Chain A
């Protein structure tokens, strides 16, 4: 069981303390004071303004302003409004939400309460991926405690505000992490993203106005309300304030979680915090934010981990899942693994995604086998281009970008496979 990140900050500082996951332990460390303050002392708009001023970006991958998203919820609308907590953490290379669920469920619930007050939501659905059995148990336990204490239910903290929270378990599809795919799944349907508009704020869960936020996004909120927007802006960069939890995996000495300010250089994360590459080998490339984000080559690891800098290198922060590959790694094999995943997980609605993910995987597999031609590399890049920005959801982009990134920085690996008619990296990981 994960207990605590190797490097902690405000989000995770108490995670190693045994009583912290309980309501009592959480309150002993100041828990639920921010929620009480929001509900009793602040107008909903004031809460939204504070979160906007704090500059909290969504931590689920897209990095959209959380306060702005909340402000999209209709004000003069008779319909019940809902929040959805996206705990479907399904991005390969990402495992930060798991610890936030296991060790910080009350922190997340407090964030949900504050967001509910701000948006006028009467209920929250926490959608937890099916594989997260233990995190789900922890969340259910925290919810039960909060109900027992009167922090959830008909009369939250005696203020007359009503809010209910319910857990729904996913069944293992990556696409159910996409917010509208999640909503479909939540409603008991096949997880297929909805066309937008209407956006969830107008037509969300069960047709009601809905805001979907990631586990970590909610978890930052009590700290922002409790300590203020300025305090929050003391972490991170001008445009990307706050910390985030980087999940480092792959060829590093100390794989694990690291809560660090946004803007921390990728090289610092890999070489200082995670201890660098084992065996004295050299780094070849690093995926900065979960598998759907384009890879960065060894020469570009000085980049600060914040979207405004990563975008200049044609990649993004994503979910902060840092995947490190050393010099033994065959990038065509990496491409094969990535493209297989997206081929398997495409929901199959849109032509480009359904057919493109399969075609890319077949081409890459053939190149890896040594049966590729140089023209196939161009076709591969072209197929990825055809998939980008043309579909109902961002899945096709998520499938195309990493392949485009690998072709951009490691085209030589592909060419060598074609020239040698075999994989030139016999020591690379097995497929």
Chain B
């Protein structure tokens, strides 16, 4: 492995990498060793056109661009000397020659690399007296993105993204020289399923999403690390939070999961968190058949007494558990323990399935199907079959994914049940038949973990408080277990402790707890072994 020296620090790097790539591999880029850059992006082909990342390499007379200069053993690089500084200032000054400098009305302000680098590496005052380019403003590129041509610095990240990642190639540079502009081809809008990523990689305010622009200034946002729950890929995200509200999801880099991307559908799924159909209070069906809002204690009491009556009359075998792939491992482990303590042997997990692609989008449209299966939940099919054959009198359902074509699509099947207890985030058809309903937290509102399709354990942390009354599924189940006097249930629920219990009980989770899993996640024991083998 070649050794290079950057600003006096020796660094061992992989063969065949460029200076910028080597620093990125080592996690040092803009994090100890600062080489400003625009056109270079870790997940896109090298372009070498912005010329901002120039560094001095000993033995080469001209300054070299760090993004495209391969490392050689013994290479000595200077990134901070006067010559480099002047070259950077030169590029920064030239980039601003035609820039409208409209930061006060630009939605990128606060997360704009042109703004940041101008403060850090730019010249103090403008020397231009010439008129700036007058170009198109507010260009509608497609259903998701708005383009300001004047702000564009022509780094071509968006062009390369469309060509290389979704491979749709909607964007191109038209014309040349200082009349170059980015455009879509006539009749070809920017509408691929990953289109909104261009707004993330645009270093300036040229490309912004219709969804987020002008909603809030980004410096008011707290960026909370989390996981997209749209499918089983579990793309890593930052939730942009302010005023106890999630304003957006943006992809968070994780080279083992989603690189730096997220699909548009997943990105927009943040809207589910504060959706109008979120359940906000517990409810119990009264004698007249109406759902009556109640407190959690009364809901637990009602559920417990219904279950107790059935256990006493028919035994626990008539109770079935339907798990949700939207619940965390901690919720599901608690539920699984509850069903075992109860003696209810009929259980399964229902997952909604849909289209997949070969980039990020997976078939299973929930974040934790793998976790549910790992914890021991079988396919929900078995539960449905037993309900159909009349062997089940009570169902405890987490979520409503079982209400789908092929599973519990008909109300009749449920209408004949003696007891339906539902723990859910959003309203569903369960509302019509459930006897007890308890609102539970969305993944953005609680601590826990998911296992993605590649068997990687990933953590979610509370980013917002839920608007109404709500609890973790595990918390509700723990209370219900205590109300039923089940062994091992004292009514308390601590996700951290449950994760440790899971690790102790299930070898696949060995050594994984909610602290050690970190923001980047960790593979399950078997996945880690096969990864190591590779």
Contacts and interface: CB of A to CB of B under 8 A. Distances in A.
Interface of A: 173, 175, 190, 195, 343-352, 354-359, 362-363, 366, 376, 379, 383, 386, 389-392
Nearest to B93: A386
B48 interface: yes
Given A389-B62, A390-B63, A348 B48 contact: no
B87 A348 contact: no
Nearest to A391: B51
A220 B243 CA distance: 77
19 contacts: A190-B176, A343-B177, A348-B177, A348-B180, A350-B50, A351-B49, A351-B94, A354-B178, A355-B94, A355-B95, A359-B128, A362-B130, A366-B130, A386-B90, A389-B63, A390-B54, A390-B87, A390-B91, A392-B48
A355 B179 CA distance: 10
Contacts of A350: 49-51
Contacts of A357: 177-178
A359 B94 contact: yes
A390 B86 CA distance: 12
- A-B interface, 7 closest residue pairs, ranked by CB to CB distance from nearest: A358-B178, A348-B180, A386-B90, A346-B177, A362-B130, A355-B94, A195-B48
A376 B153 CA distance: 24
Contact of B50 (A175, A351, A358): A351
Contact of B177 (A345, A352, A362): A345
A352 B91 contact: yes
B129 interface: yes
Contact of B178 (A355, A366, A383): A355
B41 to A, nearest CB: 16
Listed residue (A190, A352, A357) with the most chain B CB atoms within 10 angstroms of its CB: A352
B54 A355 contact: no
Interface in B12-38: none
Interface of B: 46, 48-52, 54, 62-63, 68, 87, 90-91, 93-95, 97-98, 127-131, 153-154, 173, 175-180
B182 to A, nearest CB: 11
A347 B154 CA distance: 12
Contacts of A379: 127
Chain B contact residues: over half helix, strand or loop, or mixed? loop
A398 B93 CA distance: 21
Contacts of A366: 129-130
A356 B130 contact: no
A173 B175 CA distance: 11
A350 B177 CA distance: 9
A120 B227 CA distance: 57
A348 B130 contact: no
Contacts of A359: 94, 97, 128, 130
A348 B127 contact: no
B518 to A, nearest CB: 37
A346 B48 contact: no
A359 B97 CA distance: 7
Nearest to B95: A351
Given A348-B178, A390-B51, A355 B98 contact: yes
B504 to A, nearest CB: 55
Given A348-B180, A349-B49, A392-B48, A386 B94 contact: yes
A347 B91 CA distance: 17
A363 B63 contact: no
A352 B90 contact: yes
A391 B63 CA distance: 10
Nearest to B174: A190
A376 B128 CA distance: 9
B85 to A, nearest CB: 13
A347 B87 CA distance: 21
Contacts of A195: 46, 48, 68
Contacts of B68: 195
Nearest to A173: B176
A365 B460 CA distance: 60
Listed residue (B62, B90, B131, B154) with the most chain A CB atoms within 10 angstroms of its CB: B90
Contacts of B179: 348
Contacts of A348: 154, 173, 175-180
Contacts of A175: 176
Listed residue (A173, A351, A356, A358) with the most chain B CB atoms within 10 angstroms of its CB: A351
Contacts of B48: 195, 392
A363 B130 CA distance: 7
A359 B175 CA distance: 18
B239 to A, nearest CB: 35
B94 A356 contact: yes
Nearest to A392: B48
Nearest to A373: B129
Nearest to A175: B176
A354 B152 CA distance: 13
Given A350-B49, A351-B154, 20 more contacts: A190-B176, A346-B177, A348-B173, A348-B176, A348-B179, A351-B50, A354-B154, A354-B177, A354-B180, A355-B94, A355-B98, A358-B97, A358-B178, A359-B128, A376-B129, A379-B127, A389-B62, A390-B51, A392-B48, A392-B49
A352 B94 contact: yes
A351 B178 CA distance: 9
Contacts of B131: 362
A347 B176 contact: yes
Contact of A355 (B46, B87, B97, B129): B97
Contact of A343 (B46, B49, B62, B178): B178
Contacts of A383: 94
Contacts of A351: 49-52, 91, 94-95, 153-154
A379 B125 CA distance: 13
A201 to B, nearest CB: 17
A391 B91 CA distance: 11
Nearest to A390: B51
Listed residue (A376, A390, A391) with the most chain B CB atoms within 10 angstroms of its CB: A390
A383 B173 CA distance: 25
Contacts of B153: 351
Contacts of B49: 349-351, 392
B34 to A, nearest CB: 19
Contacts of A343: 177-178
B238 to A, nearest CB: 29
B54 to A, nearest CB: 7
Contacts of A376: 129
A74 B176 CA distance: 34
Contacts of A363: 130
Nearest to B131: A362
B62 A344 contact: no
A391 B39 CA distance: 14
A104 B83 CA distance: 49
Nearest to A375: B127
A376 B129 CA distance: 9
A366 B153 CA distance: 25
Nearest to B87: A390
Contacts of B90: 352, 386, 390
Contacts of B176: 173, 175, 190, 345-348
Nearest to A363: B130
Contacts of A358: 97-98, 177-178
Contacts of B178: 343, 346, 348, 354-355, 357-358
A358 B131 CA distance: 11
A351 B54 CA distance: 12
B143 to A, nearest CB: 28
A15 to B, nearest CB: 36
Contacts of B51: 350-352, 390-391
Listed residue (B54, B68, B91, B131) with the most chain A CB atoms within 10 angstroms of its CB: B91
A374 to B, nearest CB: 13
A376 B87 CA distance: 20
A348 B94 CA distance: 13
Contacts of A344: 177
Contacts of B175: 348
Contacts of A352: 51, 90-91, 94
A386 B97 CA distance: 13
Contacts of B180: 348, 354
